[in-house]
Amino acid sequence: MLNIDDPNDKPTSAPIWQLGFRPFFFFGALFATVAIPSWLITLYAPEYAWINIPSLWWHPHELLFGFTIAIIAGFLLTAVKNWTGKTTYTGNSLALVFGCWAAARLSLILPIPFPLELAALFDFVFLGAIIFKLFQCIVSVKQWRNIALPIGLSGALMLNGMSYWALATQDYHLASKIWLAMLFMIALLISFIGGRVIPFFTSAKLNVTRKEPIMWLDTIAFSSLAMLVIIVMTDQLSTSFSRAVLLIAAISTFARMSRWQLKASLKEPMLWSLQLSYLCLPLTLLCLAIFEPTPFVVKTMMHFFAIGTLAGVCLSMITRVSLGHTGRNIYQGPNMTMPFIYILFAAFVRGVMPLLQPEYMAEWHVLSGLLWTAAFGHFVFYFAKILFSYRPDGRPG
């Protein structure tokens, strides 16, 4: 992403409220380090648990609509500002939007009675404000190629509302469909954004020619992932048609990333962390298409995607953006090689080992959780000073 700020501009608000990536990346990562240990305590030591919300709802909801959406919001508020040249939230307005996100998270995790309707309202205002700003920036410059981003987040807003309804009515079958549909929707967003930034970053760093995207191949990949959202919500994932869609999505996603110079990127952690994390997506789709999609297999493989691709791409991108948009050299910042390895290993431990040795499920849960927490805890520790400090060059951002 290019930096288009006027060098004569001076920051007028506290560093953390300069641009969307700062609060959402830092506190999103901090929340990630708290959420998984909290879930493990609830699961394996319930006598010490403090969360009042049913844990089987809280865990997937907060990892999807809490952590993941925070990272996506921070990235898009920053990226859309650069793509369109229009100002996104900053200063007090950014603090207010972030405050709604934080209020929703705290209301669901703190051991005090809190009206569920109020938590839902905070979440609605937070995500609605993000969607409004993205639409406003994109439409104002008629940048229609990016209009799918706020549209996709609008779908996430609808699913989040349904998830609160599922909790209120104790319809956990509906909730499970929402989690799976949201994962496929996030896969679509990652596929859309990743197809732009991963080959661009790779070619820029390695000085290799970037292959232009193939429109029909992109269309097949995006359409098949979107179809999976519909399939999940209509309870049709186990049909032969659904497995064909999964196979098409896997092949098209593999084909797209085969053009992104994966082998050449293996020499640079800031590149292979994106590439290998993204690779977990087609691997997940392929396994779901080949193996009998029993509830256990689907749940386990979607954890492989959620940790490997979703969390892996998030960790790599928040590292890159946090350095680049605070005026630092992306390839000379804190060494994140081990955290990138931790998150990929966590995906393997949680998404593969339970299929091979299900009798050690608890051990795989705990080990994966420790690796996850170490990865995001590393980011929080080393990037706190960066995200809470002004840019070294004195520019806003």
pLDDT for position 111: 85
CA distance 35 to 63: 8
Averaged pLDDT for residues 374-388: 97
Radius of gyration in angstroms for the set of CA atoms belonging to the chain, rounded to a whole number: 20
CA distance 24 to 47: 32
Structure tokens at 95: 């603090």
pLDDT for position 2: 39
Give 198: exposed, middle or buried? Use CB within 10 Å, 0-12, 13-18, 19+.
buried
Structure tokens at 42: 């609830």
Q: Residue 6: is its pLDDT beyond 60? A: no
pLDDT for position 11: 67
Averaged pLDDT for residues 84-113: 94
pLDDT for position 5: 45
Residue type at position 239: T
pTM recorded for the entire structure:
0.94
Average confidence score pLDDT of the chain = 93
Q: Residue 4: is its pLDDT beyond 50? A: no
Averaged pLDDT for residues 146-160: 94
pLDDT for position 202: 93
CA distance 298 to 157: 24
Give 356: exposed, middle or buried? Use CB within 10 Å, 0-12, 13-18, 19+.
exposed
**Structural contact between residues 245 and 227, judged by C-beta atoms closer than 8 angstroms:** yes
Among 93, 103, 166, 86, CA closest to 129 = 93
In the chain, pLDDT over 90 holds for what percent of residues?
A: 86
What would the pLDDT profile of 272-301 be if each residue is shown by its tens digit?
Answer: 999 999 999 999 999 999 987 788 999 999
What would the pLDDT profile of 33-73 be if each residue is shown by its tens digit?
Answer: 999 999 999 999 999 988 889 989 999 999 999 999 999 99
CA distance 144 to 258: 27
In the chain, pLDDT over 70 holds for what percent of residues?
A: 97
Structure tokens at 396: 């806003």
**Structural contact between residues 124 and 175, judged by C-beta atoms closer than 8 angstroms:** no
Give 206: exposed, middle or buried? Use CB within 10 Å, 0-12, 13-18, 19+.
middle
